[in-house]
């Protein structure tokens, strides 16, 4: 059973977004890391980069495949997780915590438009069944 | 699970990196029953094999196996195979799963009259890693596997009718391949797991062989890539009248126009097949296989480019989806392992 904390919002492309100290933290879900397998590389945008909701902000690559990470929100990158860049396995071991990817400024983002945990859970069940 | 040459194969069990490390540090067991199994016998077999394979049939005694190629007339490689001499006039040719029909046809064309597709005669388990001997002996004691030389095999009664164990593999570690009657295979797999072996899927099979620089047909070898370009001239018995010999002799005379080389990345990124290798302003090759190396901790790649390849140590870059990753030419294997040392 995949782990879905209720304190954040989710996208259909399996990212999460959560407000923290006035910034939006972004990462990939437990389901996404499990599907990818061992993450061995993560490519993240530089601080100051503009990201747009629904467009790629970076990539996560495993021994098996590479996946784009789509930004759940629109804004400017304030910080990237250099620990995840140097030790990408943290995305597997702690996707909702130390495996976060970027922090984006909160202006112009509408987290409530994204899915809650229950809705994402239903989406996952649909996607897995189909 | 993944589909591979018509077989449902496990890509991974616990995870590629975990499985990879288990093989490097302890022992892992792979189900490689998908490999082809072509049995040859009869008076025509030996001559046909000499015409079809580059492996040296003259020195291949019963109880041993050898590696070689099935070539086209132009020297291009139809497959790379292991051939086991099962008896005085019995051989087993083990092609890649995707190439069974091609190899079977090549053997027939070379004059083999009795070629049996023996895919259902054996399941094959590869038991690989520094603890593989101990694991084998804890399940089947006193079979003498510790004395088996590289590429030698011996009969093991408990593996069923025709069952045998060979000191062969595709990981660079000390290890064995167990040819087991299908009916006994599942129990054997379970017993090896109980003995502490980690189950390993296709994903780690690929990263393990890549760290050793071992060729994979369809990547480093193929109808468009001859064995001399791939640096595998050691597996060619030049005195034997194998198909493709004339073309390959010409390549040997003039030197191959392309050569295979290794690249070890120094900045983060995972090289993949098709990525360009760049030195200065020049494209010096194209990646044939690439991945993250769990042992080295960076990306590694095999690449094919115009001969001569840049010298080991030369700085290059690999273009991965538009991004340039720094690296240096390296001579495979990328790591020091059991089979790269003197204890072969």
| pLDDT tens figures, B144-172 | 999 999 999 999 999 998 999 999 999 99
**pLDDT, average across residues B54-66:** 97
Burial class (CB in 10 A: 0-12, 13-18, 19+), B16: buried
Please determine, for residue B132, whether its predicted confidence score (pLDDT) is greater than 90.
yes
**pLDDT, average across residues B286-292:** 98
Long-range CB contact pairs, B293-297, < 8 A, 24+: B293/B207, B293/B210, B293/B211, B293/B334, B293/B335, B294/B16, B294/B17, B294/B20, B294/B21, B294/B24, B294/B207, B295/B20, B295/B24, B295/B211, B295/B334, B295/B335, B296/B211, B296/B264, B296/B334, B296/B335
Please determine, for residue B253, whether its predicted confidence score (pLDDT) is greater than 90.
yes
User: Is residue B75 within 8 Å of B251, Cβ to Cβ?
Assistant: yes
Alpha-carbon gap, residue A125 to B12, rounded angstroms = 23
Please determine, for residue B255, whether its predicted confidence score (pLDDT) is greater than 90.
yes
Which comes out higher in pLDDT, residue B6 or B330?
B330
A10-106+115-129: CATH topology is OB fold (Dihydrolipoamide Acetyltransferase, E2P) (2.40.50)
Across the interface, do B207 and A63 touch by the CB < 8 Å criterion? Answer: yes
Across the interface, do A41 and B11 touch by the CB < 8 Å criterion? Answer: no
Residue B265 CB partners (closer than 8 Å, separation 6+): B271, B298, B299, B300, B301, B318, B325, B326, B327
Q: Which of these, A17, A7, A47, lies nearest to A108 by C-alpha position?
A: A17
**Mind spelling out the 3-state secondary structure of chain A?**
CCCCCCCCEECCCCEEEEEECCEEEEEECHHHHHHHCCEEEEECCCCCCEECCCCEEEEEEECCCEEEEECCCCEEEEEECHHHHHCCCHHHHCCCCCCCCEEEECCCCCHHHCECHHHHHHHHHHHHHC
Please determine, for residue B314, whether its predicted confidence score (pLDDT) is greater than 90.
yes
Q: What is residue A130's predicted lDDT score, i.e. its pLDDT?
A: 56
A66 CB near a chain B CB, below 8 Å? yes
Q: What is residue A1's predicted lDDT score, i.e. its pLDDT?
A: 58
Please determine, for residue B235, whether its predicted confidence score (pLDDT) is greater than 60.
yes
User: Is residue B23 within 8 Å of B30, Cβ to Cβ?
Assistant: no
What are residue A105's DSSP bridge partners?
A23
Q: How many contacts (CB atoms, under 8 Å) link A and B?
A: 38
- The reported pTM is 0.91
Domains of chain B by range and CATH?
Answer: 2-210 (3.30.1360.120), 257-332 (2.40.30.110)
Please determine, for residue B121, whether its predicted confidence score (pLDDT) is greater than 50.
yes
For residue A59, the chain B residues in CB contact (below 8 A) are 321
A128 — pLDDT class (breaks 50, 70, 90):
confident
**pLDDT, average across residues B31-49:** 96
Q: What is residue B4's predicted lDDT score, i.e. its pLDDT?
A: 84
Residue A107 CB partners (closer than 8 Å, separation 6+): A75
For residue A40, the chain B residues in CB contact (below 8 A) are 17, 270, 292
Across the interface, do A64 and B16 touch by the CB < 8 Å criterion? Answer: yes
A107 to chain B, closest Cα gap in Å: 30
Q: Which of A38, A56, A87 to mutate to test the interface with B (most CBs of B within 10 A)?
A: A38
Across the interface, do A66 and B270 touch by the CB < 8 Å criterion? Answer: yes
Q: What is residue A106's predicted lDDT score, i.e. its pLDDT?
A: 75
A56 CB near a chain B CB, below 8 Å? no
φ, ψ of residue B210 in degrees (nearest 5): -65, -40
A65 CB near a chain B CB, below 8 Å? no
What is the residue-averaged pLDDT of chain A?
A: 93
For residue A61, the chain B residues in CB contact (below 8 A) are 270, 292
**pLDDT, average across residues A53-77:** 94
Q: What is residue A126's predicted lDDT score, i.e. its pLDDT?
A: 87
Q: What is residue A110's predicted lDDT score, i.e. its pLDDT?
A: 79
Please determine, for residue B300, whether its predicted confidence score (pLDDT) is greater than 70.
yes
For residue A44, the chain B residues in CB contact (below 8 A) are none
* A 26-55 → B contacts, CB under 8 A: 37-38, 40-41, 43
Nearest CA in chain A to B202: A64
Please determine, for residue B16, whether its predicted confidence score (pLDDT) is greater than 80.
yes
pLDDT tens for each residue of B184-220: 999 999 999 999 999 999 999 999 999 999 999 999 9
Nearest CA in chain A to B13: A37
Across the interface, do A38 and B291 touch by the CB < 8 Å criterion? Answer: no
Please determine, for residue B1, whether its predicted confidence score (pLDDT) is greater than 80.
no
Q: Which of A35, A37, A40 to mutate to test the interface with B (most CBs of B within 10 A)?
A: A40
Domain boundaries, chain A: 10-106+115-129
For residue A89, the chain B residues in CB contact (below 8 A) are 17
Across the interface, do B270 and A43 touch by the CB < 8 Å criterion? Answer: no
pLDDT tens for each residue of B168-184: 999 999 999 999 999 99
Q: Which of B18, B289, B292, B301 to mutate to test the interface with A (most CBs of A within 10 A)?
A: B292
């Amino acid at each position: 059973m995949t782990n879905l904390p209720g304190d954040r919002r989710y996208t259909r492309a399996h990212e999460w977004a959560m407000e923290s100290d006035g910034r939006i933290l972004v990462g990939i879900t437990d389901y996404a890391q499990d599907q990818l397998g061992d993450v061995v590389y993560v490519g993240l945008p530089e601080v100051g980069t503009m990201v747009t909701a629904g467009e790629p902000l970076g990539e996560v690559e495993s021994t098996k495949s590479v996946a784009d990470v789509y930004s759940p929100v629109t804004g400017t990158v304030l910080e990237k997780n250099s620990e995840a860049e140097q030790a990408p396995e943290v995305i597997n071991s702690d996707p909702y915590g130390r495996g976060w990817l970027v922090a984006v400024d909160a202006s112009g983002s509408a987290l409530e438009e994204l899915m809650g945990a229950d809705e994402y859970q239903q989406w996952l069940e649909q996607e897995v069944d189909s | 699970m993944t589909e591979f040459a018509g077989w449902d194969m496990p890509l991974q069990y616990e995870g590629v990196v975990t499985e990879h490390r288990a093989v490097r540090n302890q022992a892992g067991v792979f189900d490689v029953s998908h490999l082809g199994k072509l049995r040859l016998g009869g008076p025509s077999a030996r001559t046909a094999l000499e015409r079809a394979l580059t492996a040296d049939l003259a020195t291949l005694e019963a109880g041993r196996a050898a590696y070689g190629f099935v070539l086209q007339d132009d020297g291009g490689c139809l497959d790379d195979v292991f051939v086991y001499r099962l008896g005085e006039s019995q051989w087993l040719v083990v092609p890649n799963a995707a190439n069974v029909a091609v190899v079977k046809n090549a053997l027939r064309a070379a004059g083999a009259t009795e070629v049996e597709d023996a895919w259902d005669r054996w399941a094959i388990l590869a038991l690989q890693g520094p603890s593989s001997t101990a694991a084998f002996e804890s399940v089947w004691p006193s079979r003498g596997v510790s004395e088996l030389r590289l590429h030698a095999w011996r009969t093991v009664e408990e593996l069923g009718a025709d069952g045998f164990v060979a000191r062969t593999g595709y990981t660079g570690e000390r290890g064995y391949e167990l040819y087991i009657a299908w009916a006994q295979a599942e129990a054997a797999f379970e017993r090896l797991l109980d003995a502490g072996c980690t189950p390993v899927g296709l994903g780690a099979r690929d990263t393990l062989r890549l760290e050793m620089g071992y060729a994979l047909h369809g990547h480093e070898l193929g109808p468009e890539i001859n064995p001399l370009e791939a640096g595998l001239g050691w597996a060619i018995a030049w005195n034997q009248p194998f198909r493709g010999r004339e073309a390959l002799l010409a390549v040997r005379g003039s030197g191959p126009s392309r050569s295979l080389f290794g690249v070890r990345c120094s900045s983060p990124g995972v090289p993949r097949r098709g990525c360009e290798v760049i030195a200065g302003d020049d494209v010096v090759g194209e990646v044939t296989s690439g991945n993250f190396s769990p042992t080295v901790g960076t990306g590694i790649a095999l690449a094919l480019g115009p001969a001569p390849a840049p010298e080991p140590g030369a700085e290059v870059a690999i273009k991965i989806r538009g991004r340039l990753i720094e690296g240096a030419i390296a001579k495979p294997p990328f790591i020091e392992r059991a089979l790269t040392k003197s204890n072969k």
